[in-house]
Amino acid sequence: MLHNVRKEAIMSYEITGPPLVSPWMMLSMSEARNDIDETKIVIPGHSVCDAPQQFMRGHGTFIRDGEIVSSLSGVVKQLNRLLMVKTIKQRYAGEVGDVVVARVVEVQAKRWKCDVSSRLHANLPLGSVLLPGGDFRRKDVEDEEKMSGFLKNGELICAEVQQVQHDGTLMLHTRNNKYGKLQQGILIKVPPHLIKKSKKHFHTLPYGMAVIIGCNGNVWVTPALPETTLEEDGSHVNEFQTVPQDIRLVMVRVAACIRILRDYSISIFLNSLTTCYEMSQPYDIKELSDQETSSRLAYLIAARLLQELQQQQQK
Amino acid sequence: MNSIQNIQQLREFLTVYNTLSERCFNACARDYTTSTLTKDEGSCVSQCIDKQMLVNRRFMLVFAEQAPKALFKQGEQSPTEAIKSASATKSEPVSPPESTQTAIVEEKQFVWETISIENTNFQAMSIISEHGFRMDGRRPAQIRNINTRLGLNRNAEGSCYLEHGNTKVLCAVYGPYEGKASKRLEDRCAIVCQYSTTTFSGLERKNRPRGDRKSTEISRLLEKAFESVILTESFPRSQIDIFCEVIQGDGSNLAACVNATSLALADAGIPMKGIASAATCGIVETKPIVDLTSREETDLLPRVTLATICGRDEVILVELQNRLHIDHLSVVMDAAKATCADVYECLAVVAQQHLKACAPILGN
């Protein structure tokens, strides 16, 4: 890791630990960042406001000696008289309507338990999946017996959060053609705070493949979106198809791009992904995992994205 | 106690005897052709031994004279004077005022004991030099350099590398996640902590990096401490794993682990009452010294590890090692509390700076 630290920095310091600034921090600490108000950043135990009588305490705060104090490390948000703290980095906390990419960890009676890298496993009830024979078919004992035939342990699915229960458990559903089992593709895990919420999380890219950006930080790079894997009678297609090599290369490049965005904590959404892909074209795919190339590329991508953002704001 | 003393006396006697015989052998034995000593050699040996014995006796006398002066600082009374003055004024209720003779006998015994026992007091003296500095050049109330890096382990939710001088600790926090069913609690989250030391962390190479009594005890202490810091009620039926690894142990290991863990928890975005900070303090002759190194910890020095939240009066962990006089308790605790507040200032700055760097570019 040391070769990435500037030479001058090494000369004057005695380095006893890892580099002072990790490469991924270097980018987000650069002077280009002025979107964060430093005075609003709080850590647990910091006072959120001076005049507690005029405000109500919201999420992520508590009252100590009559003043509102943060219990989280994050940014203070104010909504009229409500003060709350939003974390910058946290495990995935589901919201209704989120698209998630989950892994089945347990088959139980009438439901599957799925790992969505949230703090509890999510439930996918048998009644909330699309089974052969249409939407309104009653799920009977026979279906229960065939549950592990539909989804086995360790299989990946794409689902939507239908409900968040009071203890934080997520209820999922796949009652739509675009959700369901994921079969061929590359899974990349990123910290969930890097996923930018948007209207669409399924993207068919113009390079002959598709990505599903799960809100829980799982990004699925696939030759085609899952709706095409459902045949007309509604049953899953189980045979694997051979993917042409050029598509495979594109998929690997997209995966490498996502890893660059992750490593340099640039948020992941359609625009950043396509920008990264296009700017990575001059390099070989294997060069993208090289630290020197990736840091240079990440810097350029961040600059381009911030510039685009400024232009949009000026309009 | 008596047997220990005897063994030690015997050991000392043997070393003196061995060095003596070796020296005289080297000095006198010339002819290796016969098994007996020649006339010249015999007289040489006896002279040599006489001379050495005289030197030794002289040394002992001088030592007995000088030791009490060195042991007690100039301002304070030496034990001889203390007992004399006590018996003279008769104000001291503990010392028997019957006769000065018993006092003198006691005093003699005391002097010989201090000389023959493993001179612990001598070591204790050298922790603070006469100019008021410690072995590594610090003042008694000065902490070591704190050096941290956050977010190094990208697989963990939160991670921290922390140095207190030469004590180096790596901490990783995983969770909250749905852990083992056996550990699950319905109303709050379970905290599982593992403390381990690398085999090369201490003075001696260890065979077991974890699982021995001492590591298990520290793990439990950390668990209990952080159960009262983390707002565990907000994560029912979940589990948080904390892994602390001491890479290099140079004293105050537990305190360093507490500090590293609270930074890692802040990095993980886990709700807490505040950032916990800890410090280890000892006491040398009524004077508190803070943030002990391993050289200072090897003495029979009483030491207290204290952890507080936000440097305030909220104590989450106290650990006492060795015996401490009750009068010194408040002194040590005050020093420890003040040190915790100092350490907290350092940790707060680090956590806040890191948070800014963590924010995703073009985030929500």
- Sequence ranges of the domains in chain A: 35-87
* Chain A residues near residue B270 by CB distance under 8 angstroms: 72
Q: Do B358 and A265 touch (CB under 8 A)?
A: yes
Find the range with the poorest average confidence among B67-81, B137-151, B168-182. B67-81
Mean pLDDT (chain B) is 83
Q: Do A272 and B362 touch (CB under 8 A)?
A: yes
What is the pTM (predicted TM-score) of this model?
0.77
Rounded CA-CA distance A114/A181 in Å is 12
Q: What angle do CA A146, A150, A151 make, to 5 degrees?
A: 115
> Is B348 part of the contact surface with chain A (CB cutoff 8 Å)?
yes
Q: Which of A309, A300, A258 is nearest to A30 (CA)?
A: A300
* Chain B residues near residue A57 by CB distance under 8 angstroms: none
B95 pLDDT above the threshold of 70: no
Out of B177, B236, B362, the one facing A167 most closely (by C-beta) is B236
Span A184-199, mean pLDDT? 92
Contact A200, A166 (CB under 8 A): no
Instruction: Determine the pLDDT at residue B227.
Output: 95
Selection from B58-72, B225-239, B284-298 with the highest mean pLDDT: B225-239
Out of B157, B237, B364, the one facing A120 most closely (by C-beta) is B237
Q: Is A193 exposed, middle or buried (0-12, 13-18, 19+ CB in 10 A)?
A: buried
A233 pLDDT above the threshold of 50: no
Closest alpha carbon within chain B to A46 = B274
Mutation pick from A36, A63, A89 vs chain B, by most beta carbons of B within 10 Å, is A89
CATH T-level topology, domain A35-87: OB fold (Dihydrolipoamide Acetyltransferase, E2P) (2.40.50)
Q: How confident is the model at residue B310 (pLDDT cuts 50, 70, 90)?
A: very high
* Chain B residues near residue A105 by CB distance under 8 angstroms: none
What pLDDT, in 10s, does the model give residues A38-87?
Answer: 778 899 999 988 777 888 889 999 998 888 999 999 999 888 889 999 98
Question: What CATH number was assigned to the domain covering residues B146-362?
Answer: 3.30.230.70
Out of B231, B269, B275, the one facing A87 most closely (by C-beta) is B269
CA B244 → CA B68, B123, B169, B178, distances in Å?
Answer: 45, 32, 7, 21
Out of B149, B176, B364, the one facing A196 most closely (by C-beta) is B364
- Joined tokens for residue A286: 């294997």
Rounded CA-CA distance B270/B267 in Å is 8
Q: Do A43 and B266 touch (CB under 8 A)?
A: yes
Single-letter code of the amino acid located at A277: Y
Q: Residues A46, A51, A52, A55: is their CA dihedral positive or negative?
A: negative
Rounded CA-CA distance B275/B277 in Å is 7
Span B257-284, mean pLDDT? 94
B93 pLDDT above the threshold of 80: no
CA A291 → CA A23, A256, A294, A296, distances in Å?
Answer: 9, 12, 5, 8
Instruction: Determine the pLDDT at residue B110.
Output: 47
Contact B204, B263 (CB under 8 A): no
Q: B3: Cβ–Cβ under 8 A, 6 or more apart, which residues?
A: none
Instruction: Determine the pLDDT at residue A99.
Output: 95
Out of A17, A44, A87, the one facing B273 most closely (by C-beta) is A44
Span B133-147, mean pLDDT? 90
Span B225-232, mean pLDDT? 95
Q: Do A72 and B274 touch (CB under 8 A)?
A: no
Rounded CA-CA distance A255/A222 in Å is 10
Contact B345, B311 (CB under 8 A): yes
Closest alpha carbon within chain B to A18 = B149
Percent of chain A with pLDDT over 90: 43
Q: B266: Cβ–Cβ under 8 A, 6 or more apart, which residues?
A: A43, A44, A73, B158, B272, B275, B351, B355
> Is A73 part of the contact surface with chain B (CB cutoff 8 Å)?
yes
Q: Is A210 exposed, middle or buried (0-12, 13-18, 19+ CB in 10 A)?
A: buried
> Is B352 part of the contact surface with chain A (CB cutoff 8 Å)?
yes
CA atoms within 13 A on the CB side of A96: 5
CA B335 → CA A16, A174, B282, distances in Å?
Answer: 28, 60, 9
Span A80-103, mean pLDDT? 91
- Joined tokens for residue B164: 């207190």
What pLDDT, in 10s, does the model give residues A11-50?
Answer: 444 445 666 566 666 666 665 566 667 778 899 999 988 7
Q: Under DSSP, is residue A45 helix (H, G, I), strand (E, B) or coil?
A: coil
Q: Is the peptide bond before B97 cis (omega within 30 degrees of 0)?
A: no
A4 pLDDT above the threshold of 50: no
Q: Which residues pair with A94 in a beta bridge?
A: none
Q: Do B149 and A22 touch (CB under 8 A)?
A: yes
Query: Chain A window 249-288: which residues touch B at a Cβ cutoff of 8 Å?
Result: 263-267, 269, 272
B306 pLDDT above the threshold of 90: yes
The minimum CA-CA distance between B96 and chain A, rounded to whole Å, is: 54
Q: A151: Cβ–Cβ under 8 A, 6 or more apart, which residues?
A: A104, A107, A112, A124, A129, A157, A181
* Chain A residues near residue B351 by CB distance under 8 angstroms: 43, 73
Q: What angle do CA B343, B348, B352 make, to 5 degrees?
A: 155
Instruction: Determine the pLDDT at residue B104.
Output: 45
Contact A98, A161 (CB under 8 A): yes
Span B275-300, mean pLDDT? 90
Map tokens 């995966």 to a residue: A255
B160 pLDDT above the threshold of 50: yes
Q: Do A36 and B359 touch (CB under 8 A)?
A: yes
Q: How confident is the model at residue B129 (pLDDT cuts 50, 70, 90)?
A: confident
B79 pLDDT above the threshold of 90: no
> Is A29 part of the contact surface with chain B (CB cutoff 8 Å)?
yes
